[in-house]
Each structure stands twice: as C-alpha cells, then as structure tokens.
Structure 1
C-alpha cells in the first residue's frame, strides 16, 4: 500500500468509500469533496493498493476555530491559515485493521508540521472521539460562530484541536 496525493480521478472511489462508511450523516456531495482536493491538493491523500483506493484523507488550511459547514460546495481558503483542518478520513471496510488510517494520519501530521501550522483540528463524529484523543486531539468548546456549522455534522459532533509541538508561538 502506498500513499499518494488525492486526484480528481480518485473521486469515484472516494465517493464509494464515503457511502460505505458514514451512517450518522448524509454523505457529502461529489462537488463538496472535489472542492477540497482542488483547493488544497497538497493536503489531501489516498492510500492505494493496486490502483484501488483503500482510504482517503481530505484536509484544508483554515484559521483555528473555523471549519467549513458539512457538504460545502465551495472551499475558499483564507490567507494566513494557522491550522490544518482534517475534514474527512475514511477507510474502506475491507481494509480496516491494515494500518491504512495510521498511514493517513501520519501523513496529515507530517504535512501539518512541514507547513508549520500551529494547530491541527477536526470534527469528531460517529463515536470517533476516543480514537482522536489517542492521537493527541482535545475537545475544545467551539467559538460561537462555529456552533451552527457543527450542527451540520450531527448530534454527536465534537470540535477537537491539537497544538503542534515544535512550532514557535508568537
């Protein structure tokens, strides 16, 4: 299995995996998923085995405390972003337990450090909170402006952040 930058050519397989993995939210549209890959191609990845996508991770630069609403059709990146937001990570059910998720998270963290982001963030859904805690993320009370967007992620959505060690704070 090898990790690659996500391409629009991978979108059919990404959409199929998304449909298999999400039950607590309505899967996002093709346009929404493509907008992340187009906006930030160097922070979106797939793990492939023999040209088959086994898992994907879509991330975009944002300001800490901000996220796009779920299924946003546009992905406008703010200049001066200080946070890499992990928008979506999913592993094909047949590939679970093979380390695909770990490969993706490791690449995400490597890119976040390489690009000198101060924070990494995500919205935990579908009982993934403990998994993300083990990865060093902590639940954060979301800023008021984020609360309405969080509601689009479902009732159990939790905004989480991780301070990235080794990044000088001003």
Structure 2
C-alpha cells in the first residue's frame, strides 16, 4: 500500500468509498470534496494498492483550533492564522479494513502536519468513532456554543476532538 496526493482523477473512487462508509450523515457532494483537495493538495491523499486501486483516503486542511470547517461547504478558505491541521475525513473501503490502511494514512497525515510545523490536529468524530481516534492521541473537547451549532450538522453523535501531535510522535 502506498500513499499518493489526492487529485481530481481520484474523486470518483473517493466518493464511492464515502458512500460505502457513511450512514449517519448525508455524504458530501463532489464539489465539497474536491474543494478540500484544491485548497490544500499537500494535505489530502489516497492509499493505493499494487493494482493502483484506491483503498482509502484522508482529506485535511489547515484550520484553527475550535473552528473546524462547515460540513457540505463547496468553498474552502484557509485561515491565515491556522494553528492546526483539521482532519476532515478518513475513510477506508470496507474490503480493505483490517489491512492497516487507516494507520498508514494517519501516519502520513501526522508526518505532513509535522513538516508544516503544526503542533495540533483536530477533527470531528462521527458514527461512534471516539475510541478509534483516542488511540491516535485525540481527546474530546467541550464545545462552545458556536461549535455546538456546527457539530449539529455532523449528526447526533458528533464529537469535536483535538490532538497535541508531539504526544503522538512519542508513542
């Protein structure tokens, strides 16, 4: 399994995996997904097998702690004062689960965050995945009122989480 930058050519495979993985929220549109790749191509990537088939993807963009991007947004703006790398979406094709694809993608994400000198990462956990993210050093954060409203668009079980990346590197 190898990691490559996500491109426009990967969009159909990304959308297909998204459709297979998300059942608690409406999948994002092609425009919403591609906007993340276009705004931050160096922080969006895919995992491909030896046959060049995409088995998973990770889309992330620079953001500020406590202020993740809106779900379903077809336009992205990177805050000039970004202080974290926001992990917007990590999804693995169901047939590739248990093969270490998620771990490989997250390790690449952490490497890129380190290269870009981000000390923190953030994400919104959905579909009861808090325990999954805790294994990578993420902790739930109590949201303020603005963040609570944004979390509602991510479904009933959405939890905002943050990670101090140097702690991840020390594992």
**TM-score, normalised to structure 1's length?**
0.95
Secondary structure of the structure 2 residue equivalent to 1:165 = helix
- Give the root-mean-square deviation of aligned CA atoms: 1.0
Structure 1: gaps spanning 5 or more residues: none
TM superposition shift of 1:143: 2.7
TM superposition shift of 1:9: 0.5
Q: Aligned pair count? A: 166
Task: Tell me what 2:58 maps to.
Answer: 57
1:57-96 deviations in whole A, cap 9, x for unaligned? Answer: 0000001111111111111111121100000000000100
Looking at structure 2, the residues matched to 163 and 97 of structure 1 have their Cα atoms a distance apart, in angstroms, of 26
Greater mean alpha carbon deviation, residues 103-112 or residues 157-166 = 157-166
Deviation at 1:144, TM superposition (A): 2.3
Judge which range, 47-56 or 10-19, deviates more.
47-56
Correspondence for 1:18: 18
Q: Distance in 1 between matches of 2:143 and 2:114?
A: 23
SS class of match (1:55): strand
What residue is the counterpart of 1:93 in the other structure?
94
Q: Deviations over 1:28-56 (max 9, x none)?
A: 00000000000000000100111211000
How far, CA to CA, are the matches of 2:63 and 2:35 in structure 1?
Answer: 14
SS in 2 for 1:103: helix
Corresponding residue of 1:165: 166
Q: Structure 1, residues 87-145: CA drift from partner, whole Å, max 9, x if none?
A: 00000001001110001000011111111112100000111100101110000012322
Divergent runs of 4+, >2 A? none
